[in-house]
Amino acid sequence: MYKKGLYTIVENRPLTAAVWRMVLAGDTQYIVRPGQFIDIAIDGLFLRRPISVCDWDDSTVTIIYKVVGKGTEAMSRMASGGVLDCLTGLGNGFATDNGSQSPLLVGGGVGVPPLYNLCKRLTAEGRRPTVVMGFSTAGEIFYREEFEKLGVDVHVATADGSFGVRGLVTDAIDAAAAGFDYIYACGPVPMLRALYDRYDVPGQFSFEERMGCGFGACMGCSCKTKYGNKRICVDGPVLKREEIIW
């Protein structure tokens, strides 16, 4: 179930040079699973901008976005008190109703945020998640401490070795994280593909695609899966490992 509504910006601040955190106040009842996204209308731009939900409660939703183009650049200039027209409750999100006891949560760059509420949920359900995050360099790391406060092991890989394990998330996983029985992942396609090829455990992978509407009408973001054609915006963005066609 998805709905359109107005949301008030209560916080908008940078976490790194290019990554920002925005907290919006408004009706959050349609957000039901970690890994879902909201679609934000921005004045002067035609299409909405889809941004994954990092966390939410009864009255606020937190998003983390990277400034990569005109839409996110405009968002970074928005002040508290501003009002945004958003569609919420979009996408299928991650499902935690599987038998996994020791899941591995892997995020690459701005693929990290949707794993935050997922991690909260998994720990609340008594699972023992381990978190692995990958960034280019130490200055781009965000939310490491927030994850640690959830009481989980957090491992970081940086491509230039300026923090944690030098290399990719797979290097950090091989170095530190043993004995996982499931993978939840969100990040660039090469990262998802590497996880898929290297670790033969079940899992869920969250994908990105350029979207038109964000709610399933325009067929702009379709992909082929072993279970037929799917729309990343409503049938995804999370696909089960066994249905993925690379």
Rounded to whole angstroms, the Cα distance separating 9 from 1 reads 23
Nearer to other proteins (CB atom), residue 69 or residue 161 = 69
Our finding on whether 147 is near other proteins (CB under 8 A) is no
The tokens describing 144, both together, are 């490491």
Our finding on whether 41 is near other proteins (CB under 8 A) is yes
Nearer to other proteins (CB atom), residue 79 or residue 245 = 245
Select from 201, 216, 225, 243 the one that contacts other proteins (CB under 8 A): 216
Nearer to other proteins (CB atom), residue 47 or residue 138 = 47
Nearer to other proteins (CB atom), residue 124 or residue 219 = 219
Number of residues binding to other proteins, judged by CB under 8 A: 28
Nearer to other proteins (CB atom), residue 85 or residue 174 = 85
Select from 13, 149, 193, 224 the one that contacts other proteins (CB under 8 A): 224
Select from 80, 136, 137, 229 the one that contacts other proteins (CB under 8 A): 229
Query: Residue 215 CB, nearest distance to other proteins (Å)?
Result: 5
| Residue span 42-61 as binding mask against other proteins, x where in contact by CB under 8 A, dash where not | ---xxxx-------------
Which spans of this chain sit near other proteins (rule: CB under 8 A)? 1-4, 41, 45-48, 71, 87, 209-213, 215-224, 229, 234
